Amino acid sequence: MPYCPKCGGEVSEGDRFCPYCGERLEREGGRVAPPSPGAMEHLSFAFNLASRKPMVFAPAILGGVISMVISALVSLAGGLYPWGFTPGLGYSPTPRLASFIIFAGLASIVGAIISYILFFASLDMSRDAYLDRPLDLGKSVGYVLRRLGTIIVASIVGAILMVTIILIPVALLMFVILVFDETGIGDSISKAFGVLRKELGDIIILLIIAIAGSFILGLIPIIGSLLSSAFNVIISIAFIDLYSYYKKAV
């Protein structure tokens, strides 16, 4: 039984593309790659896949919960010790304002780092779900930590691209490709431009849905941020599916 040179999955003798990762197995031949579905088909597939494998939401939900807890602790610390007067008997002395600012700053930084790592762990787990691999939060976090240097540089590049507004889709696709193909930053950007040229309409639709959905879900009290995080996982899988079909067609 032959194996895919990209992901190592078993493939049949007659397969032209790997059924797991979409890698082209033949460079010659007259068969035409299947046409790419539309944006709504990608989104529907992503929703169904995430519903079958709810573990894929774990990194995003965990990151959201940690952010909520840290924000609550900072708010609680500020509320327990109002600035400008001394608490009554039985209460601890009012802490210095500088101490509270340092605590709030450090807590925010820790929360941001954890959320940052879990965001990319979510992309890795979405890739594993898409390729029908076992879902393991520890493995996905470990993958991010192993590539942390590349990911940090990619984030800086992505931030620069996003400043231009018009290149936001390229930055988002770069992150997806960086994780899905486990490739470098330059290769990811090059491929992202290729996807953008071929799938511009579907990419714009997915972005509009992502922005609108996250905004609406974010308005829901208490759990809005968690629902928004879960929705973004579905969007990520939709982009992975779009990219996978693009690879089959080129």
In this structure, are 27 and 145 located in the same domain? no
| pLDDT given for residue 99 in this prediction | 74
**CB 190, CB 228: distance < 8 Å:** no
Looking at the fold, whether 58 and 163 belong to one and the same domain comes out as yes
Beta bridge partner(s), residue 17: 24
What range does the domain containing 180 cover? 39-249
Question: For 139-180, how does the pLDDT look when each residue is reduced to its tens digit (9 = 90+)?
Answer: 999 999 999 999 999 999 999 999 988 999 999 999 999 999
| Confidence band, pLDDT 50/70/90 cuts, at residue 78 | low
CA distance 160 to 168: 9
- Please, what is the Cα angle at 217 between 216 and 218, to 5 degrees? 90
Same domain, 87 and 21: no
| Cβ pair 129, 53 in contact under 8 A | yes
pLDDT at 194: 94
What average pLDDT does this structure show over 132-142?
94
Confidence of residue 35 (pLDDT cuts 50, 70, 90): low
CA neighbor of 227 nearest in space, from 242, 215, 244: 215
pLDDT digits (tens, 9 = 90+) for 192-216: 999 999 999 999 999 999 999 999 9
Give the integer Cα–Cα distance in Å for 219 and 231: 14
| In a shared domain, residues 141 and 69 | yes
Q: Which residue has the tokens 């609680």?
A: 76
The percent of residues in the chain predicted with pLDDT above 70, rounded, is 79
Look at the chain and report how many structural domains it folds into.
2
pLDDT, the chain, mean: 85
Helix 97-130 vs helix 58-80: crossing angle, to nearest 10: 170
150 within 8 A of 184, measured Cβ to Cβ: yes
Query: Do 75 and 155 share a domain, yes or no?
Result: yes
Residues 18 and 110 both lie in one domain: no
How many angstroms separate the Cα of 179 from the Cα of each of 30, 120, 186, 243? 31, 8, 13, 12
Please tell me whether residues 1 and 122 are part of one structural domain.
Answer: no
Cβ neighbours of residue 75 closer than 8 Å, sequence gap 6 or more: none
Say whether both 157 and 223 belong to one domain.
Answer: yes
C-alpha–C-alpha distance, residues 213 and 231, integer Å: 7
Residues 46 and 11 in one domain: no
- Residue 71 has a pLDDT of 83
Q: Do 124 and 219 belong together in one domain?
A: yes
Where b means 16+ CB within 10 Å and e means fewer, 92-112 reads: eeeeeeeebeeebeebeeebe
